[in-house]
Structure 1
């Protein structure tokens, strides 16, 4: 996407993830923040210096512009950047709902072929975040153990991340349309719709309609198949899954339980080659397999499962992944230098083009590129930039000559 210019005026996860994805694909993404930083600028987790690991990583590879978004002059700069002329310009990502000065109609009057992707909470513009939306689509009430009455919230903002990737998809589709028709697009994307689409497309709502109620809670068992965690000798735990008949046969071979399960099938008149049957008898299967795992340490278990090509994974902490990264185990992970000189761990693009993930991207300091972007895109002179600084319409980092 080299040569494509995107303006991002969004905070938190979804919008910045969309912009970061486009930046990793080569687009020139300019992130606009209020002077001093937006509500996510110092969001946890933070470094010992107080810098946000979260903000730094989600905005790597972008250029940073700091503008007084409350002043007419500042808003005019944002409108001018978003609608700047050029075949590869006029692309805006935002989640600024309810601000009349940034409505699509006003932007389209300045550039009719504008591509404008707006992230919303709900389709009607009401606010929402991942954790409130997830509560409303039923996931916390199907998570947890049998008999537990309370909801179980999750840690991962999964709907935010999916929404962010949908933002980048929307931009790509709109660019394709504009290249062929010359028409712009106003693309609205609501977090609530992403979550509803997710659970609907997985068939979960259809199941609830058939049941006329909620799916049962099964703790760490995989729903509708066989998969559960086992403790090894020494305390390490592994997750083992058998979705297919081949995976089920591999698990029996690795644990030496083929004859046991053949006899069990005959006794219970069951066919464990069927995924639904393995799910129905999940507790019985787990009880048969458990002694094999508890009699062996993790290394022995891992070698046996790998040799038989069993589908499995070890439970690990994030500190374990950090240790892996120090040994350069995962090439998707990379080091990032924070503006004050500290270090962070971030990621390259998970997409590999002919084996290449592309560059990591530099972490911008808030407002670092304000002057250069306004000069390059809008043609402002040094004198004009100086005046904007004097009137506190724009800002650069504290160590800038303009501060």
Structure 2
């Protein structure tokens, strides 16, 4: 965590991945993020993975460093408290429907400077999730084994995470405009727009219109360059990528395949030097050379040769192995041991994903217990009296930690 956004307060009313990620990234940079949930937890409060006591490890990591207010959002009075809080703070992050009780137009009627960042499915308000957005934009048709034409979905919610990152950026851009002009407004982030726009930024729309067809499926191969997985003599599957000339030449030296490549060049009348496209077009012959070179050497030997020659490579690891990897987790300053999690389970937690030179990196803060900050937020932010807060608690409209 860093203390760069102190003074910024945001109300978050959201669930699942994309919208909570916006609040998480802001909180990790020092913003005060007040997450408002239904009493007892929202629809993602028990989302898997969970502990034996049914505490969601996903929820407690997506909601680190936030404050929690628990309200009865099924009641008109509970929603009125939330609306008061949003208008007081002036910044809202949500994935609730655009036409619901948290519509920007309704909220901004008495708060013209309000900034709302809203995660959506489709631009017209239709529902979409990361996995359906991914299916719609065509990437599963490119994923999976070469011999199988069935689409293969990814397991990483990539569009959710991109939407969260873009949402944090867009919110700060909207705040900058408000600081300059006083103008609020709503930022809408449809998952399908993030997905299709990202594909367009990578040239995918232009590509299919130019060629009139989709790419061929490449399995674990990298499109347009030499990159694929190979198996060493001792059975270690390893991914290599040579995305520029320096890396390509390093790969050739490390594998000692100069003579074999020269033979292919003579046979096919091509030159591989300085032309990634020619190498990719002739990947069948090049990969055969690389496969033979891998099969003749053990992983440790090859890894040392790759490192000495600037080759980008990595053996495949399970997540269990990755968690024990010193470079990734155990000796990575991104992580610090978190012992006061709502689940009661202690483990390394991630802080802000960026490293800011010269700035002190604060330890990752835990997620709150649901309702832990209800009384403090209603008193300090909204100015409710102790007796009014007690009345709201007694009538079941507000819950504290012990009651949520």
> Which band: TM-score by shorter chain?
over 0.9
**Does structure 1 conserve the Cα–Cα contact (< 8 Å) formed by 2:323 and 2:330?**
no
Distance 1:72 1:202 in 2: 46
**2:352 matched residue in structure 1:** 349
**Does structure 2 conserve the Cα–Cα contact (< 8 Å) formed by 1:25 and 1:358?**
no
Q: Does 1:284 align with 2:272?
A: no
**1:306 matched residue in structure 2:** 307
**Does structure 2 conserve the Cα–Cα contact (< 8 Å) formed by 1:332 and 1:349?**
yes
Q: Once the 2 structures are TM-superposed, how far is the Cα of residue 327 of structure 1 from its aligned partner?
A: 7.3
Distance 1:128 1:344 in 2: 33
Distance 1:235 1:64 in 2: 49
Q: Once the 2 structures are TM-superposed, how far is the Cα of residue 340 of structure 1 from its aligned partner?
A: 4.2
Q: Does 1:389 align with 2:393?
A: yes
Distance 1:235 1:146 in 2: 21
Deviates more, 1:123-132 or 1:267-276: 267-276
Q: Does 1:80 align with 2:84?
A: yes
**2:114 matched residue in structure 1:** 114
Distance 2:286 2:139 in 1: 26
Deviates more, 1:112-121 or 1:336-345: 336-345
Distance 2:147 2:358 in 1: 48
Deviates more, 1:351-360 or 1:384-393: 351-360
Match of 2:284, SS state, is: helix
Distance 1:146 1:323 in 2: 32
Deviates more, 1:324-333 or 1:51-60: 324-333
Distance 1:262 1:348 in 2: 49
**1:335 matched residue in structure 2:** 337
Distance 1:158 1:184 in 2: 29
- For residues 295-354 of structure 1, what are the alpha-carbon distances to aligned partners after superposition, in whole Å with 9 as ceiling and x for unaligned? 222211111100011111121111112212697222223333322421244311121121
Q: Does 1:49 align with 2:53?
A: yes
**2:66 matched residue in structure 1:** 62
Structure 1 segments (4+ residues) deviating >4 Å = none
- For residues 88-116 of structure 1, what are the alpha-carbon distances to aligned partners after superposition, in whole Å with 9 as ceiling and x for unaligned? x4111011105532111111112111111
Q: Once the 2 structures are TM-superposed, how far is the Cα of residue 291 of structure 1 from its aligned partner?
A: 2.2
- For residues 59-97 of structure 1, what are the alpha-carbon distances to aligned partners after superposition, in whole Å with 9 as ceiling and x for unaligned? 00000111111111111111111111xxxx411101110
**1:249 matched residue in structure 2:** 249
In structure 2, which of residues 373, 379, 389 is the aligned counterpart of residue 375 of structure 1? 379
**1:92 matched residue in structure 2:** 92
Distance 1:10 1:99 in 2: 15
Q: Where does the alignment leave 5 or more consecutive residues of structure 1 unmatched?
A: none
Distance 2:368 2:298 in 1: 46
- For residues 196-237 of structure 1, what are the alpha-carbon distances to aligned partners after superposition, in whole Å with 9 as ceiling and x for unaligned? 101111111222123322211011111111101111122211
- For residues 167-224 of structure 1, what are the alpha-carbon distances to aligned partners after superposition, in whole Å with 9 as ceiling and x for unaligned? 1011100111111111112111111100010111111122212332221101111111
Distance 2:290 2:34 in 1: 54
**For 1:1-400, what aligned pairs fall within 5 Å after superposition?**
1-84=5-88, 89-97=89-97, 100-273=100-273, 274-324=275-325, 328-337=330-339, 338-354=341-357, 356=359, 357-398=361-402
Distance 1:334 1:108 in 2: 40
TM-score normalised by structure 2 residue count: 0.94
**Does structure 2 conserve the Cα–Cα contact (< 8 Å) formed by 1:238 and 1:315?**
yes
Change in Cα spacing, 1:328 to 1:33, as seen in structure 2 (3 Å) is: same
Match of 2:10, SS state, is: strand
**Does structure 1 conserve the Cα–Cα contact (< 8 Å) formed by 2:329 and 2:335?**
no
Q: Where does the alignment leave 5 or more consecutive residues of structure 2 unmatched?
A: none
TM-score normalised by structure 1 residue count: 0.94
**Does structure 2 conserve the Cα–Cα contact (< 8 Å) formed by 1:324 and 1:330?**
no
Match of 1:171, SS state, is: helix
Alignment coverage as a number of residue pairs:
396
Distance 1:179 1:98 in 2: 25
Deviates more, 1:19-28 or 1:281-290: 281-290
**Does structure 1 conserve the Cα–Cα contact (< 8 Å) formed by 2:98 and 2:118?**
no
Q: What is the Cα-based RMSD across aligned positions, in Å?
A: 1.6
Q: Once the 2 structures are TM-superposed, how far is the Cα of residue 48 of structure 1 from its aligned partner?
A: 2.3
